[in-house]
Structure 1
Amino acid sequence: MENNNEESIFARQYGPNKGSSIEGRMGPVKVGNVTAAWGNFQPTQDLVDEFSMENGKAIYEDGSGYDPNNPYVGREKRFYQTIIYDNSTWHGELITTRVGGNNAINKGYSSDNTHTGYYARKRLNEDKEPTAYHDGKSYQNYIIYRYAEILLSYAEAENEVNGPTQDVLNAVDAVRTRSGNLPGVKDTYGTVSKEQMRDIIHRERRVELAFEDKRWWDILRWKIAEKMPDGSAGVMNRPLRGMEITENGDGSLKYTIIELRNRLFLPKMYLMPIPQSVIDRNSEIAKQSGGPDNWTNGQNPGY
């Protein structure tokens, strides 16, 4: 994204003399013959699966055209702008994350190579030479708020109050058609319910705002970390997943979704513990129990 373009509302400013090393932290480890980066921040399989097909439908929906044996073909534009996947290019070099590739998946966490089978593309500057990824002079701004988030936040609030009104459709479609080059909601799904629109908005936020530090706070405020509304395991109580790709004897590829590690989120984790030193400053705080926050002796529940 070009610095200070018309969509940027509030951004931390960077320049060559006051920059960052974001490519060194997020980029592919090997770029050609250069050991360029650490690859610290990697897309998960769950994020990859949220990107629609180019016809606007999610990969798990009827009529999407998704092929699990060729999973990176025919996806929406934002997928290719956000994810470095096996056999894609970065800085003019082919990146292969398959077993035996130049950036092969590392399930054992013994090196910097990707653990999920993916690297992030979004937020990185492809014009920057790989030999300079750690020079602290990467100058793309850090976006805090931009117009697409305003549209999605408005659509979410309006949908919760009044359902999928035309204003909601207009706001969501503005993001889908501009960012993902996708057909509008009605063109894709016809008439949708409030609940269906909520799911669409949630998916749009995850895809559109990926790697912009929004997802964690969305998970918390939607209360889907511990469990989902239907009672199934929440987002943070599901295994972290990636994609392992191996070559068959005939040269074709086998794609296997793998579980990398389990995660645990307890109900108390929606709130941080109140430091005991803060409670001790006022004896009245320590007397507080119950109430809307279910305090115990001035402390958040579970701590």
Structure 2
Amino acid sequence: MNRIMKEKNIIISLLFLILAFTACEDHLDKQPLGELSPENFYSTAEGAEAGVNAAYSYLRHYDLVGLPFIAGGDIASDDSDPGNKNNKASIEFDEFTFSPSSSLMTNWYSGQYVLIGRANIVINSESEFVFEEDLQKRILAEAKFMRAYGYFNLVKSFGGVPKITVLPELDGDFIPRATPEEIWQLIDEDLEYAITYLPERSEYSPANLGRVTKGAARGLLARAFLFRNDFEKVERYAMEIINSNEYTLFPDYEGIFTYDGENCSESVFEVQATRSESGNKTGTDKYNTVQGSKAKYWDPEQGKFINNQGLGWGINSPSDDLEAAYEDGDPRKDATIAYVGDTLYDGRSIVVRNSKNHGTKYNQKGILPLFYDGTDNKVTGGGGGANNPANVRLIRYADVLLMAAEALNENDKPTDALVYLNMVRERARGDNPDILPNVTTTDKLGLRNAIWHERRVELAMEQNRYWDILRQGRAAELLQALGKNFVEGKHNLLPIPQVDVDATEGVITQNPGY
């Protein structure tokens, strides 16, 4: 637990320095620098908000949106292949040969606890708050959402894990694993608080675009109940989002995943990122880069195509099985899968073959070409070093509609379920009435399969598929049919990182089969 205490000291010190520098400017309405110190940092609105912003910033970290996120959500599933021939970590997820010592386990597990630790620092500082009460509640609600998000990733991945809600004393004791039920209860409580005190999306000022909202909390809670097959509660929270009239499906499916589609009408929650010319790491860390492909783009200054080395090395390639899953004419296939020779949405970049890759398919949702600022000034789209300017879409309104459809069908309301399922299909078909006809069956099993199919093709390559087939109880059947080494009863959970088992002298126990 030393890491959490160190994290608090580092965060407070860094945030104090940031506020100290900004106070040297012309922010005369803020507390004078002489009255602000690390000891009373969280007593101010500036300090508390900076604290919760530290949690937001960690959402962009490699541990949370980089290869651990992609490998667990896509590469382990039937939707994706590793792509790169030389990336051992992604191949281990594809072949289910990972172990407690695999690097991505440590990244994914420890990364959630860093996020939780940052949220806990803010939550545990509530007694120090001496600013306006409504803002106090909002900041606490944002921090509790972050804590719930971290624990949601942990419990769906590892089962029961140590439950840490306060900053532990450094007395040498280790915290054992809580039960999954205890972790789910904490998630529920945190998100109920967030729903109560967060604003709706429309109630935020433009300056607060990207902060978590009441809709985001409801969406995450609906997803949390989906993993427990509590369909009455899934229906409740999904319908609260729908009835809020805060969100609509974006008319252009492909456009959702471009720069112009960031924070669009169907964005319920996404990780905010921007490219910094000074390199101060305000972008995501390799999320889109690792999904990109080599490409060439038309350079108007030179009047020719030149190689673009900023689009990654092709990890996370759409599988043949996913390609075959699309119905004839479904435009989402071309919006999701980029082939060698394709011109990307900027009209300039062309996908070319990368010799390090298997196959010729790439995740188009993850390929962000060079883009232009309106004056033909090139700004790198890809690139590592936590400076990738692309937002990560975590919850879309289409997902909410499909959660509602699934819950309504399971709750014996098939006619209502069809309304939301067909809304998603209608947006996908666009102006072409000859494709993606409305689903009409009210048979429970048939409609369930139709909804599961729609989730696959609508949300493909968005890091949902593996978790979906796990909760549906279909992982062994689907993955073994493709020759993957998924073992029922073992791979339903990931292994606890061996370093954590060893460091706690076995107080944190290992999952079965590892």
TM-score band w.r.t. shorter chain: 0.5 to 0.7
Q: Indicate the residue corresponding to 1:120 in structure 2.
A: 363
Alpha carbon RMSD of aligned pairs, Å?
A: 3.2
| Residues 42, 210 of structure 1: alpha-carbon distance in 2 compared, 3 angstrom cutoff | same
1:34 maps onto 2:307 in alignment:
yes
Where does residue 246 of structure 1 map in the other structure?
Answer: none
- What's the counterpart of residue 270 of structure 1? 492
Residues 130 and 189 of structure 1, relative CA distance in 2, 3 Å threshold: same
- Cα 1:127/1:269, change in 2 over 3 Å: same
CA distance, structure 2, for counterparts of residue 162 and residue 184 of structure 1: 30
Give the alignment partner of residue 281 of structure 1, picking from 483, 499, 507: 507
Partner residue, 2:420: 171
Instruction: Tell me the residue number matched to 2:268.
Output: 9
Seen in structure 2, the aligned counterparts of structure 1 residues 144 and 189 have a Cα distance that, compared at 3 Å, is: closer
- May I ask how many residue pairs the two structures share in their alignment? 224
CA pair 184-158 structure 1, distance change in 2 beyond 3 A: farther
- Between the aligned partners of 1:192 and 1:279, the Cα distance in structure 2 is 54
Bigger proportion of residues as helix: 2
Is 1:25 equivalent to 2:251 in the alignment?
Answer: no
Alpha-carbon offset, residue 143 of structure 1:
1.4
Q: Among residues 432, 438, 441, which one is paired with 1:191 in the alignment?
A: 441
**Higher-Rg member (1/2):** 2
State the alpha-carbon separation in 2 of the partners of residues 221 and 94 from structure 1.
38
1:65-87 deviation digits (Å, cap 9, x = unpaired): xxxxxxxxxx2221121111244
What's the counterpart of residue 50 of structure 1?
A: 325
Q: For the residues of structure 2 that align with 1:189 and 1:24, how far apart are their CA atoms?
A: 37
- Residues 1:280 and 1:138: Cα distance change in structure 2 (over 3 Å): closer
Q: CA deviation at 1:161?
A: 2.2
8 A Cα contact 1:12 1:142, kept in partner: yes
After superposition, the Cα gap between the structure-2 partners of 1:186 and 1:177, relative to the gap in structure 1 and judged at 3 Å, is closer
Deviations 1:33-72 (A, max 9, x none): 415231112111111112222xxxxxxxxxxxxxxxxxxx
CA drift at 1:192: 4.3
Cα 1:133/1:143, change in 2 over 3 Å: closer
Q: Deviations over 1:159-202 (max 9, x none)?
A: 12215x22101111111111343769995454342111111111
CA contact (8 A) 1:169 1:185 kept: no
- Residues 429 and 436 of structure 2 are in contact (CA less than 8 Å); yes or no, is this contact kept in structure 1? no
Secondary structure (helix, strand or coil) at the match of 1:10 reads strand
The 1-side partners of 2:275 and 2:461 are apart by 22
Q: Is the contact between residue 151 and residue 171 of structure 1 (CA under 8 Å) also seen in structure 2?
A: yes
AA partner of residue 479 (structure 2):
M
The answer to which structure has the higher strand fraction is 1
Between the two proteins, what is the percent identity of the paired residues? 31
In structure 2, the partner of 1:88 is 342
CA distance in structure 1 between the aligned counterparts of 2:360 and 2:270, rounded to whole angstroms: 30
Distance in 1 between residues matched to 2:401 and 2:426, nearest whole Å: 13
Is 1:236 the counterpart of 2:479 in the alignment? yes
Query: How far did 1:19 drift?
Result: 1.5
TM-score by length of 2: 0.39
Q: How many Å separate the matches in 2 of 1:174 and 1:236?
A: 30
Cα distance change on mapping 1:13 and 1:131 into 2, 3 Å: closer
Match in the other structure for 1:247? none
Displacement of 1:11 after TM fit? 1.4
* Structure-1-length-normalised TM-score: 0.63
Unpaired stretches in structure 1, ≥5 consecutive residues: 54-74, 96-101, 105-110, 228-234, 240-261, 283-297
Question: Residue 402 of structure 2 contacts residue 421 of structure 2 at CA under 8 Å; is this kept in 1?
Answer: yes
Change (3 A) 1:87 1:34: closer
